[in-house]
Structure 1
Amino acid sequence: MWSLQDSLANVRRRMEELLRSLRNLDLSAPNGEQVLALFSEYPHVDKQLAQQLAVPARLESSDVKEGIDAMMDAALLSGATEAMLQNYNRALEKDTELLHNEHKQIYAPKPVKRVPLKALLAAQHATIRRREEEAKAASENAPFYVVRQINDTVHTFYSTRHVAELTRVDMDEFAVPKRLEGRYVLVRVASPLSLYCSCSFVGQLPSGAAIFVSIAYFTHDLSLPSDALNALLPIGTVCLIREPYISTNYLGVGGPISGGKGAVGIRVDTPSDVQVLDSVAPILQGVVWDSPCEPPAPPTRILWRQEGPLTRVVQHQLAQQRPVHVPDVAKARVHESIRQLLLMERPGAAWREWQAAVLAGIWNDPLACEDALLKFDVLFALHTYQAALDAIALDPPEALLSEYTHRKTKVTSAMQSHTSGPSDALLQHMFAATLTQSTPRFDYAEYVGPVAVQDIPNAGRGLVLTKDVKEGTLLLFCRAIGSSYSADKGCCERQILRCDVGRGVSSTTTQVLAAARCIHAILDRPELAHPLLGLTAGPDIPHDPLVQAPYPLRWEPPSDPQAALEAATPHVSSAYINGVLRFNAFGPAPMPAAASAGDPMANSTMPHPLPAILNHACLPTVSSVFLGDMVATRALHPLQKGTQIMHQYVQGELAYQTRQKLLAKHKFVCKCGLCERDLGDGIAQQRTREELLATMLPPLLERSRALHKGGFAPASSGTDLLKAHREIAASLLAFVDNVQATYHSSRDALRPDIVDPLHLAASHTRLSDPVKAIALAEAAITASGAVLGSAQGRAICQLPYVHFDSAMECMLSLAAFA
């Protein structure tokens, strides 16, 4: 539940120019760790980073090396790189100033000057060429990062009004910067699309005036080729934008850092404000365009965020309160549009197209076998597994037997976890897949155990038990909505670093693209609005109205055809979704099987709505294990009915002050059992312990790691090796003694700070004194809060409170030592 944070008070960098300059000097692009180092507020970091980057990218080429040596020595090259970092700083400073000034000027907007369409088209084509050059550079510089850096701002907009409440506006009423409240604008796509993080194009208004348009969170696939991208909004497509915001920098929240050289245009901060219109849309009737244009595609084609063609017709008839009548619609065309929507990852729209066909009387009763298979595919994509199984309940003809058998096997496997949660065998399979797959997503039924959502005094909502449970009882098995992996097709070679200057927060690729996935998931499936928008977005963002409504434990699409088609399209604030991801999502977290595991830029982001309801305790009552995009939550101890189940937002093994600092963004002070123990030790002792952990422990861990790097050797391998192990073990135990002195004499055995040092000391001691090693491993387990049984069995009678992984490693060590 944490987000990558750094103070951005002194962050002033421009990624695009920096990378281009590095390439011009034949230097390597920064890797993930170096990218994040760009965000340090300390001046000496620039110098260190410049020295690291000032290494030729192709030293293996002797002619390149000789050419570089002839021009400048290493010191001069490092100085040039540092100068580029400083130029980069100044460019971002200008963009930051532009955002601040625009917000001040919104109370005194100025008229918008018209720019000829030809000039805007030339600028758009130049932008597209730059994007193509960047894509080429990204592939040539792999595996180094060619990062897209964008600015974010707290001043974003979204409309909550229906189109019927708005009136149309054209360029003669535009002003900048200004949000045109109570108005809507019609724009026709007049250029190819350009995709950075937002998607931009030149739009033409009915009056003939032209203006840039940028739509943030347009897609989560930043690797779309130009033909696939332009097919989403072909030239000639008409879009309606509700309550548009005219900005001095239309790319401000989704485009590259411009060094303060933004262009005027319409900045759309959320896709929910845009509606793609058919040429026969009622709202276009009577609209006269200065330059007529043929519609870009036949009505059967589905464009960006458009509903299926049959759905659009039926929804219009329902809105006019007319009987549904759609003559001469071929069933094959409906099949085609549904499959197209499924390929576009829009199962909600596919379900509405199916329900529109129900109202139009297209399906037979009972369904034909091909129809039943299609209905199965839609329901399976919606994770409504029982309904999917019911769709293929009839015996198929011989020709379709294999198709039916395959789907029954698939849905039966998916339903294994429906009634009582996943089996141990299934969890083992998922665990193995998580270790070997870089983007694991599972089709298994979710499970909600004996829990209920309840208001907690002074803590908002939480989950409480509805019956007594034993330790190890599965309480939740839930899927993420909008999960994002760094290895996803849309993320590869398209890394993002987003700076939110107002909040002092930076976000990486998967956090940005998870927001896009969540927004589009809500727009496709309105039933997901409550699970996501019903979560809080942090203490500084006003709650969405859904936060006050009873929180659902489960969510499924409407089964009634008319209800499905009449469900209102949600209004989604991108700022709110980003707040939910920052405060109520698990991640970013490393993926074991990611190609660049251990790289901070290769993390995943997992929004799990129901588990996000859990409140924090440094001493949790549940343990959550992440298996791909699903999380399994179990009780750590026997718990009584009515007990609030709680998990860790921050690790309990961190020092007290560190925990409180990390929790500060949630605007509460933790007072759990571990915090009470730490407070009982005294402020002075806490500070001493934190200083020991910060200064003495890191070098000891590094020495231990280096010694273990070659693996364990037998005691006969040499006295020098044994001596080295004894010395590091002694140093670790001396550190443990120093930390032990900071605990109050009345404190119980729970002492998280010494678990890892004791475990490492045991691993080094095993070579010379196995008996002592066993004692140290047992002491480490006890310090985690676990209770060991008899000396003979050494079984854990009570699970640990913290350091779960370390406790398991200690138990494995005991088995190995014995």
Structure 2
Amino acid sequence: MEDALRALHQLSLPAPSPAQLLDLLDSHSDAAERVAQLIALASAPGEGSEGDAADLLGADLLTQAVRAILANLASALEAARAAHEKEREQLQKPAAVKMLPRKAHVARSTAALKRAARAEEESGPMRPRLVFDGGPSYVSRASLAELEPISAADMKLVPRRYEGRVLYLRTVAPPVPYVGLLLEGEDVAGNIVPVAVSHATVQPQGMDAAAALFPVGTLIAIKEPYLSPNYAARAAPGKPLAGIRIDSPTDLKVFRKGETGPPGFELAPAAPAAASASLPWLDDPVALETSSEQSAAVTALLAAGRPGAAWRLLQRARTAEKSATPEHLALEGRIRYHAEDWAGAAAAFEEAMALSEASAGSDLQDGAQSLGDGAQSLGDGGILPPMPLQACLRQARAHAERFTLEPSAAEVRGLYFAAAAGARRLDVRTYVGPAAVRDIEGAGRGLVATRDVQPGEVILLCRAVAPQYPSGPPVLRLNLENGLVSTSSQIAAQSGLIHALVDRPELQLPVLGLTAGPDLPYSAFVREPYPVSVPSLREDAHERPAVDAAYVDGVLRFNAFGPSAAIDAASGAVFPRAMPHPLPAILNHACLPNVSTTFHGDVLLSRALVPLPKGIEIVHPYVRGELPYAVRQAQLSKHAFQCACELCRLDAADGDGAQMRARLVAGELPAILARSGSVLKMRVNATEAPDAKEREAHEDIVEALEGIIDRMAATYQPGRGSLRPELFDVFRSCAAHRAVTDPSRSAQCELDALACAGAEAREDWAAPHSGTGEPAAVLSRLPALHLDASIEAMLASSTRLEASGQPECAIRWTATAVWAHDCIIGGGLDVLVDRFGERYGPALRLWQQRFGRP
């Protein structure tokens, strides 16, 4: 990858976009030629600086040059696959290894540092990066005291994991950063050993930042080291070379100033100190001497997203103090607030205020900012931003008092608009409604309703654990065994979650208590009772847990939520959200869900869509139920189960032949819908009656759509009922054209569309509203599929009926949309207007004029 990027840079051409990189990594893709042409077109002749490649070579030669560069990249991928396959075969029969002499290692390390510096200078820190994985991943669960030292000279076989042993090294060169870090270590005998560390940092680092983490002379211990013939593949580019591959960063121990090193090593004065300006990697700072140093270190740890380390440092500082200080109490409140210990945070803030008022020299409120109304954005570390103690206390008390209360419309409104304004980490309390974790026959654990639940009630309001929004370079990771490609967000989420579990070991149960897919054995936490609340900060001494990076990846891959597409259509950025919401992940799948789940920043909100009787399982869709049956089952196969919800049972009963016929008939629909769009654009003035030509065009489209409906209906089994999500869009298109030719039948078409999505109509659905109270909804049961499009169907009917002089019928359709939206998202009329007001203003204004804000 680095050679290809350098060659493109020399031709004044841009690096491939993330979307193009995915095309190039697809071994079955024929997109390489298209990518080559797109990259070459990025520097057209005459548009660059004088003498650039486009002017010198011309378009044809430039395209040929790009083809050659991409062909070399493809060859490099094949070489990586061959090296991986060779290592996999050698695992059964390790071979003797001859390590490079010291001089060769030094020369190789010096060259690698120069290449990294040149790449950073030429292509910048945002250059795309590619690493590989696949095959066994290792993690040591032993403590250093349980392991016997081993020297590099005794590691004679490769590939091999040296179980029960520990390798002590001192770094002799600055680290080479890429996705992971490459280190050069020297053992007691002077042997040089290259080391690659995966997930060393959450985001890829520059050279200066990496050097600050591991200065030359840092003493490290590697637990149960794995000697790989291609040690760097998971962390950085490079040719196959024997070295230590560290898959889980918890296998690496860094000795700090003040610690006792192993025999034969002494900690040099240059070893990194634990101070606020230089936070220790994955470790807690050692005791600091002054109160100001302690406060600065705690603040720095909070800003770095390490509240656990901040809490333990604060506990040590308070133990050394004769009495509590306002500064320490204020920091305690912030840490407890982050850990969702609202009552504890309020108590700490209150005590800090009392001491601050009694102390003439301590005013913690100067220069701070107030909270304001609605959901607030948290800082980069997910920590409460600076604000007066009074505001902190007020917010903590509010969360504590509302802890068991269902979120109000005002809370959801604030949440929605804060996320819409770009806030990523929101100051929102966790709420667990009438639900509990139970064992579900044939489905493991799940959530069940603990009482009867009405549509619209909030089931869950949960913040993600250690959410990541990658701000670094685009990163791709190719699994050389199964071809699976992981993107920037997935890799950052994995690294971030590993670091979060090290910082707060109490999170292991909710996170590692989730299963990691059908191919990985359960963790020890899966058998323990699953918590429904965020665990409290641990008061006991910290012992770094052993975190299996592969298991964390599986937990995220099979449990993480996120609404974004894998590639941003506008920018091509490979930045999907991959957010771990542990408790919502307990929800089992159904293609036909009974809750609506929406995402707002790092917050997940689930509401009941239908009445839920006590004891019923609460289910959420892993894949969209609107997709064809075969596509849903194929996507669910990665979870090693077949869905047996009502929709899937009905689809399965139709038989494979009927499913195939339904897909074949639906294949004609895009052309009809394209014609439909063209005809609808002919309506310059919707208030005027169509002329004969326009009417005929609309009638022709309706006839074609009704033909599709009849042919698809023939593929369903008799007695199936109206749940036919494939026909939803067809009926909606019919409604749009009926609104022109036969308005009285338009509302019926919209109702048919809603029925296809699972809705049920009231018997008096067509009757106008009468009386002075709020009108009855048109539906008695909401749809479970096509949720936003269903709201559009309701508002479209209201708009058409109001325009045709039937305001009392129209108001019932708007009432249905208001009810449906409150059950899907909530937040009141302001949120509904923000989402749909631009297109369906008349229907919503009619409601506002009659009833104001609900």
TM-score of the two chains, using structure 1 as the length reference: 0.86
Q: What is the CA deviation profile of residues 445-489 of structure 1, one whole-angstrom value per residue up to 9, with x for unaligned ones?
A: 11112222122222111111222211222111111113222xx43
Q: Which shifted more, 671-680 or 729-738?
A: 729-738
Q: What is the CA deviation profile of residues 612-651 of structure 1, one whole-angstrom value per residue up to 9, with x for unaligned ones?
A: 1111111112111111111111222111221111111111
2:217 is aligned with 1:245 = no
Give 1:50 deviation, angstroms.
Answer: 3.2
Residue of 196, 204, 211 corresponding to 2:193: 211
Residue of 371, 378, 397 corresponding to 2:335: 378
Give 1:557 deviation, angstroms.
Answer: 3.2
| Equivalent-residue separation in structure 1 for 2:781 and 2:118 (angstroms) | 59
User: Which amino acid letter does the alignment assign opposite residue 24 of structure 2?
Assistant: L
2:584 is aligned with 1:611 = yes
2:323 is aligned with 1:332 = no
Residue of 397, 410, 416 corresponding to 1:425: 410
2:497 is aligned with 1:518 = yes
| Equivalent-residue separation in structure 1 for 2:497 and 2:521 (angstroms) | 19
2:510 is aligned with 1:531 = yes
Give 1:682 deviation, angstroms.
Answer: 2.6
Residues 709-724 of structure 1 mapped to structure 2, 5 A cutoff: 714=686
Residue of 395, 408, 421 corresponding to 1:436: 421
Question: Tell me, what secondary structure is at the counterpart of 1:310?
Answer: coil
Question: Tell me, what secondary structure is at the counterpart of 2:460?
Answer: strand
Question: Tell me, what secondary structure is at the counterpart of 1:478?
Answer: strand
Q: 2:257–2:273: 8 Å Cα contact kept in structure 1? A: no
User: Which amino acid letter does the alignment assign opposite residue 307 of structure 2?
Assistant: P
Give 1:764 deviation, angstroms.
Answer: 5.0
Give 1:154 deviation, angstroms.
Answer: 2.6
Give 1:655 deviation, angstroms.
Answer: 0.8
Question: Tell me, what secondary structure is at the counterpart of 1:35?
Answer: helix
Flag the structure with more relative contact order, 1 or 2, with Cα contacts below 8 A and sequence separation at least 6: 1
| Equivalent-residue separation in structure 1 for 2:480 and 2:74 (angstroms) | 14
User: Which residue number in structure 1 is paired with residue 725 of structure 2?
Assistant: 752
Q: What is the CA deviation profile of residues 704-727 of structure 1, one whole-angstrom value per residue up to 9, with x for unaligned ones?
A: 677889998646699798877666
User: Which residue number in structure 1 is paired with residue 282 of structure 2?
Assistant: 305
User: Which residue number in structure 1 is paired with residue 383 of structure 2?
Assistant: none
User: Which residue number in structure 2 is paired with residue 271 of structure 1?
Assistant: 249
Q: 1:527–1:555: 8 Å Cα contact kept in structure 2? A: no
Residue of 523, 528, 546 corresponding to 1:544: 523
| Equivalent-residue separation in structure 1 for 2:464 and 2:682 (angstroms) | 39
Question: Tell me, what secondary structure is at the counterpart of 2:183?
Answer: strand
Give 1:211 deviation, angstroms.
Answer: 1.7
User: Which residue number in structure 2 is paired with residue 696 of structure 1?
Assistant: 668
Residue of 92, 97, 109 corresponding to 1:124: 109
User: Which residue number in structure 2 is paired with residue 55 of structure 1?
Assistant: 41
User: Which residue number in structure 2 is paired with residue 796 of structure 1?
Assistant: 779
Identify if the C-alpha distance between structure 1 residues 357 and 660 changes in structure 2 by more than 3 Å, giving closer, same or farther.
Answer: same
| Equivalent-residue separation in structure 2 for 1:661 and 1:778 (angstroms) | 31
User: Which residue number in structure 1 is paired with residue 483 of structure 2?
Assistant: 504
| Equivalent-residue separation in structure 2 for 1:444 and 1:511 (angstroms) | 24
Identify if the C-alpha distance between structure 1 residues 303 and 808 changes in structure 2 by more than 3 Å, giving closer, same or farther.
Answer: same
Q: What is the CA deviation profile of residues 381-436 of structure 1, one whole-angstrom value per residue up to 9, with x for unaligned ones?
A: 32322211110223341834563123224434655752223221221222223233
Question: Tell me, what secondary structure is at the counterpart of 1:278?
Answer: coil
Q: What is the CA deviation profile of residues 75-122 of structure 1, one whole-angstrom value per residue up to 9, with x for unaligned ones?
A: x54454444333322211111111121122234434443435554344
User: Which residue number in structure 2 is paired with residue 362 of structure 1?
Assistant: 321
2:126 is aligned with 1:166 = no
Q: 2:562–2:599: 8 Å Cα contact kept in structure 1? A: no
Q: 1:26–1:56: 8 Å Cα contact kept in structure 2? A: no
Q: What is the CA deviation profile of residues 550-601 of structure 1, one whole-angstrom value per residue up to 9, with x for unaligned ones?
A: 11112323454xx2x1x5422111111111111111147249xx98658472
Give 1:777 deviation, angstroms.
Answer: 1.9
User: Which residue number in structure 2 is paired with residue 474 of structure 1?
Assistant: 458
Identify if the C-alpha distance between structure 1 residues 294 and 282 changes in structure 2 by more than 3 Å, giving closer, same or farther.
Answer: closer
Question: Tell me, what secondary structure is at the counterpart of 1:586?
Answer: coil
Identify if the C-alpha distance between structure 1 residues 802 and 114 changes in structure 2 by more than 3 Å, giving closer, same or farther.
Answer: same
Question: Tell me, what secondary structure is at the counterpart of 1:44?
Answer: coil
Identify if the C-alpha distance between structure 1 residues 273 and 42 changes in structure 2 by more than 3 Å, giving closer, same or farther.
Answer: closer
| Equivalent-residue separation in structure 2 for 1:338 and 1:708 (angstroms) | 62
Q: 2:231–2:243: 8 Å Cα contact kept in structure 1? A: yes
Aligned Cα root-mean-square deviation (Å): 3.1
User: Which residue number in structure 1 is paired with residue 70 of structure 2?
Assistant: 85
Q: What is the CA deviation profile of residues 735-769 of structure 1, one whole-angstrom value per residue up to 9, with x for unaligned ones?
A: 33332232223111111111123224434554555
Residue of 184, 194, 202 corresponding to 1:202: 184
Identify if the C-alpha distance between structure 1 residues 63 and 449 changes in structure 2 by more than 3 Å, giving closer, same or farther.
Answer: closer
User: Which residue number in structure 2 is paired with residue 314 of structure 1?
Assistant: none
User: Which amino acid letter does the alignment assign opposite residue 784 of structure 1?
Assistant: A
Question: Tell me, what secondary structure is at the counterpart of 1:547?
Answer: coil
User: Which residue number in structure 1 is paired with residue 128 of structure 2?
Assistant: 147
Q: 2:449–2:614: 8 Å Cα contact kept in structure 1? A: yes
5+ residue gaps in structure 1? 1-14, 312-328
Question: Tell me, what secondary structure is at the counterpart of 1:54?
Answer: helix
| Equivalent-residue separation in structure 2 for 1:536 and 1:788 (angstroms) | 40
Residues 128-139 of structure 1 mapped to structure 2, 5 A cutoff: 128-136=113-121
Give 1:215 deviation, angstroms.
Answer: 0.9
Q: 2:99–2:242: 8 Å Cα contact kept in structure 1? A: no
Residue of 95, 98, 105 corresponding to 2:83: 98
Residue of 559, 580, 587 corresponding to 2:555: 580
| Equivalent-residue separation in structure 2 for 1:242 and 1:67 (angstroms) | 50
Identify if the C-alpha distance between structure 1 residues 137 and 227 changes in structure 2 by more than 3 Å, giving closer, same or farther.
Answer: closer
Q: What is the CA deviation profile of residues 480-521 of structure 1, one whole-angstrom value per residue up to 9, with x for unaligned ones?
A: 113222xx43x3xx1111111223321111001100011000
User: Which residue number in structure 2 is paired with residue 812 of structure 1?
Assistant: 795
User: Which residue number in structure 2 is paired with residue 9 of structure 1?
Assistant: none
Q: Which shifted more, 581-590 or 193-202?
A: 581-590
Q: 1:384–1:556: 8 Å Cα contact kept in structure 2? A: no
Identify if the C-alpha distance between structure 1 residues 755 and 32 changes in structure 2 by more than 3 Å, giving closer, same or farther.
Answer: farther
Give 1:253 deviation, angstroms.
Answer: 1.3
Residue of 196, 202, 226 corresponding to 1:220: 202
TM-score of the two chains, using structure 2 as the length reference: 0.82
| Equivalent-residue separation in structure 2 for 1:595 and 1:182 (angstroms) | 46
Identify if the C-alpha distance between structure 1 residues 353 and 729 changes in structure 2 by more than 3 Å, giving closer, same or farther.
Answer: farther
Q: 1:154–1:502: 8 Å Cα contact kept in structure 2? A: yes
User: Which residue number in structure 1 is paired with residue 756 of structure 2?
Assistant: 783
User: Which amino acid letter does the alignment assign opposite residue 181 of structure 2?
Assistant: C
Give 1:688 deviation, angstroms.
Answer: 0.9
Q: What is the CA deviation profile of residues 318-338 of structure 1, one whole-angstrom value per residue up to 9, with x for unaligned ones?
A: xxxxxxxxxxx4333322322
Identify if the C-alpha distance between structure 1 residues 72 and 368 changes in structure 2 by more than 3 Å, giving closer, same or farther.
Answer: closer
Give 1:167 deviation, angstroms.
Answer: 0.8
| Equivalent-residue separation in structure 2 for 1:460 and 1:511 (angstroms) | 25
2:311 is aligned with 1:351 = yes
Q: Which shifted more, 520-529 or 441-450?
A: 441-450
User: Which residue number in structure 1 is paired with residue 545 of structure 2?
Assistant: 570
2:774 is aligned with 1:774 = no
User: Which residue number in structure 1 is paired with residue 713 of structure 2?
Assistant: 740
Q: What is the CA deviation profile of residues 342-394 of structure 1, one whole-angstrom value per residue up to 9, with x for unaligned ones?
A: 12211001111122234x34251xx3222211211222232322211110223
Q: What is the CA deviation profile of residues 44-68 of structure 1, one whole-angstrom value per residue up to 9, with x for unaligned ones?
A: 3333333333314355617769963
Could you tell me the percent identity over the aligned residues? 33
| Equivalent-residue separation in structure 2 for 1:817 and 1:101 (angstroms) | 68
Q: 1:417–1:446: 8 Å Cα contact kept in structure 2? A: no
User: Which residue number in structure 1 is paired with residue 31 of structure 2?
Assistant: 45
Identify if the C-alpha distance between structure 1 residues 718 and 116 changes in structure 2 by more than 3 Å, giving closer, same or farther.
Answer: farther
Question: Tell me, what secondary structure is at the counterpart of 1:625?
Answer: strand
Q: 2:722–2:755: 8 Å Cα contact kept in structure 1? A: yes
Question: Tell me, what secondary structure is at the counterpart of 1:580?
Answer: helix
